[in-house]
Each structure stands twice: as structure tokens, then as C-alpha cells.
Structure 1
């Protein structure tokens, strides 16, 4: 006997069957439970394979080597790069500070600063390095986030990549790829996009994505500001493979690009909020392809 027939007999015995409102249908089985809707997939940032630790209890030299000296650094710069904790340190809020100090009344070391080179290399055939920065902006001050091959290397034959650099208080970021001198037949061995950025002194993210074949020459590169592709360039033959490159962060004083200008006495801080390397840029390599199709080609300098 079906469950419905058993239930009908039970109602007959209770003499209440006819009291059930006809508008309520008999349910032979419980209503199905609506299936849970699938969560909407949201894009998550690529996980880093390396991220600098800016905890205040971690020494700066855990992540970086201090490059030292006042030799002009090939640009007639004025600063003396030192490893003093006055010039490079971590804050209680987990930020790295690179501080240039101008003190014209001192007989020596009128300008001190820090130049930090990462122990970590880019290490991957293809990947993305990105930093969140708040830079100083003033006459005679030249902050930079860039990359060179690990030593020993031949500059500029094996290449240089500038991801963020600005000087003299000009509100312009210079994205650059260099692999030659600036004279003679090397004049066109440079790719540059100068991007006006009115609030350059505010916090922004600056990134560089590279894509190479597993072996040999060639490849493609895209520079990003706040996730937007702002320059692209082919990787030229002869440039060192990016696996061997390191990150550099520094604040220079004076130098050729500053045209003889010097800063007023005081402190000038490059604040590094975050520095990481991931296996792909935001949006993955499919986004890289879309960015490649529309990004500006770097021009000869």
C-alpha cells in the first residue's frame, strides 16, 4: 500500500480529511532543496614566490646588500651610499625607508643615502616584479626602482631596466630599457616611455613583467603603473637572461640628470610599502597578451 493510501485511511479514521483545505495540494514527497548557487569567481592576485620582509625586527640586510661608496656611480652623483640605520631601516608599520640626508654644513658626507640590491634574483624564465612606493620629489633628488644583472656583468652591454625613476621634482616617471651606450651607433639601443604623473609623490605600484623562451635569446617585457600597461619592449639579443637579475632601490643626489641642482638641507624618504615577485602579472599571461596588443612601444632615447 502506498504512503498516500495509508495516509488517506489515517485521515478517514480521524474524520478530518474533508477539513483539509482543497487549495493545499497533497505532497507525496518533500520539496527539493534549491541547490546552492556557485560562488562567483573573483580574481585573486598571483601568489608571490618571493616577498621582502619589512618587519621592524628583521635587519635590512636580510633582504638586501648595501652597495657603498661616493664614486659618482657613473653619473657624477653627489651622495655617499652608506649602510647606516639612519639611511635605511624598517618602520613599526612594516615599511622600508631609504633616506637621503642633505646637510650642507658638514665638512664631509654632505649627502648620504642608501643603495640596496636584493639578494633574491628574478630567478624565473618569466615573471613579474612589483613594488608599492611613495617616493620623494624635490630638486636634486633622484629615487629609483630598477634592475641590473647580478655581478659580474658588463654595463650597459648586458642591459638595464628602470621600472620607476624620477628626478628634480619633475612629475614624470621614466620607464626604460638600456643595453648600450648613449653615443655613436648605440643611440637607438634604448627604449623609453616618459609618463607624466601629477601625483607621483603619492603611493603607486610599479611593475615589470618579463616573458622569455626557456632557452636562448629574445622575449617580451611590459611595464605597469597601478596595474595599467604603460610600455612594452622586445628583449634584445645580447641582454642577459632575466633569471640572473636583481632588484635595486636607491635615492641618488645630484648627478647628470639633475642638471647641477642640489636639494635643500633635510631628509628625503623613498617609502617601500611592498616588494614582491610573482610567476605572472595581475590577470595572468592572458592579460599580458591583451596588454601587449595595446601598450605603447618604448621609443629610442
Structure 2
């Protein structure tokens, strides 16, 4: 994600261990939110293969079932996640479930006063999934085919962090944001790398592209091609920005030469998309057809 990570990194391992405890959270008072209807479009076009397929999740399974626990862990808790976010992440099927039509649906629900498993009280619930301790890769193509929400305050993202995170923390471990969309800029896609700045603290180098159309109106293919000396982002097969080793080392250190794991989430509010507006209709959903990693 786009802003300071220090707070979220320091509690990351603790949050993973809390996943089994979410049943202790206060019950949600509002009705359960259904997963995406089967009328949503299904992907029929093949992803542009660039190398050997290393890992994938096409989210097959019965409607209402959990994401594959052999591939994903669910991080839980609230408190802003270092970005002044407004959601509590849960492992409830209200917030993340398969729809029975080949999609993972992450649903952000307005639930004022919700008490998280870690004791924080937040105004929304949502889900955050990670492949940490399940899968990681060094270099290749990371790709997601998804329909993203663009309501004010919505912050869908596919991103990755270095596997040495527990040892060195953020930003030393590095972060690659494959795709981020902020509801304040509904036509714009962002790709970013985060790492340590030479002068101390974090550094971010970002590439953006204004597509000219609201990204929530259909499914799009979001991807980054990661090589030893550069990263290039594209949307629907069209490259829109490259960050080279030289771009990073102009003011920081290159920390993108070791394996990274994936994260997939839908945040609410915070320093990137801004506050949810009165015009926002909640719940909001991130509908993911697949996530794939190629060598």
C-alpha cells in the first residue's frame, strides 16, 4: 500500500497469529452481505503468458466458501494499518468469499462501532489476504484480472513485500505495489516501489496512468513485469510505466533482488484514497477472477 508502513509492519506477525481468534470479535449487527451475483462477467480471454506459470489462484469453489487456505492466510485487526485506514480486517465470509462463479469477492462493509479481534474499534470491515509462508517469488510477472471498486474512500490493491520482512521490517524488506486504485481518482491506476531512502526513512517511486474511464465499470488485467534491474507496469496489456534500478538508487537503495510474497486487500479511507464520501454506497466489492505469477 502507498503510505507509511512502520506501524503495520511492527504488528504484522501478531496479526497473523490472531487469525484463529476472530470468532471472539463482536457479532456484526447488520445482515450478512451476499457475495457477488452470478451475473457478473466471467473471464473468457487468456492471460498473456510470459514464461512458466509458477503459481495461480482462479478461485474455483462453492459459493460462500473461504479462499484456499493452502494459498492464502487472512490477516485480521484494525487500528489504521499505518495509513489512517478505517477498516477492521476479518476472516468472516461476509468480507471474503468465493461466489461460485470463479471469483473471489472481497467486501468492505460499513459497520460503525465494530470491535476487531485485536480490540480496535473501526467503522468498516473488510479483508486482507496474504501468501506469506505459502508462496513467494523473485522476478517474473505478477498479474490480476479483477473488477475494482472506485467509490470515494475505496482502496483496492494487489501488492507484495519481501520475505525478509520479519527480520528487517519495512521499508528495508521492500514493497512492490502491482496495482492500486484510489476512489478519489477512479480512472487512474498506480504502480509503486517502496524501499529505504539514502537519507533515512522510506522512499516511494510511482508510475501512474489515467485510463480516461472509470475502472469499476468492468474487469481489467493489472500486471507488473519484474526483472533484476527494473519493473514495468501494464493495464490490459498496455505498458504505462517503468522504474529502473537507477531511478531507485538516485535517492535510495535497490531492495528488489530477493523473493516477495503477495497481498490482496480492500482498504477503506486513509492517506491514499481519502475519506468515504456521503455519496458512497456501502458495501463495496473487489471482484477477482484470478491472480497469477509467471517466471
Structure 2 length-normalised TM: 0.69
Name the CA distance, whole Å, in 1 between partners of 2:231 and 2:49.
19
Displaced runs of 4 or more, over 6 A: none
Question: Among residues 135, 156, 166, which one is paired with 2:181 in the alignment?
Answer: 166
Structure 1 residue 112 corresponds to structure 2 residue 125: yes
Contact 1:253/1:262 (CA < 8 Å) preserved in 2?
A: no
Structure 2 vs 1, CA of residues 106 and 122 (structure 1 numbering), >3 Å: closer, same or farther? closer
Deviation at 1:139, TM superposition (A): 1.0
When Rg is computed on C-alpha atoms for both structures, the one with the higher figure is 1
Whole-Å Cα distance in 2 between the matches of residues 44 and 139 of structure 1?
32
Structure 1 gaps of 5+ residues are: 1-42, 213-218, 280-301
Question: Pick from 144, 149, 155: which aligns with 1:136?
Answer: 149
Per-residue deviation, 1:266: 2.0
Give, in whole Å, the separation in 1 of the partners of 2:284 and 2:142: 24
8 Å CA contact 1:122–1:243 kept in 2: the answer is: no
* Counterpart pick for 2:262 among 234, 247, 259: 247
Structure 2's unaligned 5+ residue stretches are 1-46, 116-120
| Equivalences, count | 228
Structure 1 residue 64 corresponds to structure 2 residue 96: no
Name 2:272's counterpart in structure 1: 257
2:61–2:102 Cα contact (<8 Å) kept: yes
What are the within-5 Å matches in structure 2 for residues 6-85 of structure 1?
45-46=49-50, 47-57=52-62, 59-60=66-67, 61-85=69-93
CA contact (8 A) 1:77 1:254 kept: yes
1:262 positional shift: 4.8
Work out whether 1:148 is the aligned partner of 2:161.
yes
What is the CA-CA distance between 1:261 and the residue it aligns to?
3.6
Aligned to 2:140: 127
Superposition RMSD on alpha carbons, in Å? Answer: 2.7
The TM-score with structure 1 as length reference comes to 0.68
Change in CA separation of 1:76 and 1:106 when aligned onto 2, cut-off 3 Å? closer
Asked whether 1:179 is paired with 2:179, we answer: no
Aligned mate of 2:236, from 207, 220, 226: 226
* CA deviation map 1:63-92 (0-9, x unaligned): 211111112110111100000011011111
Structure 2 vs 1, CA of residues 44 and 155 (structure 1 numbering), >3 Å: closer, same or farther? closer
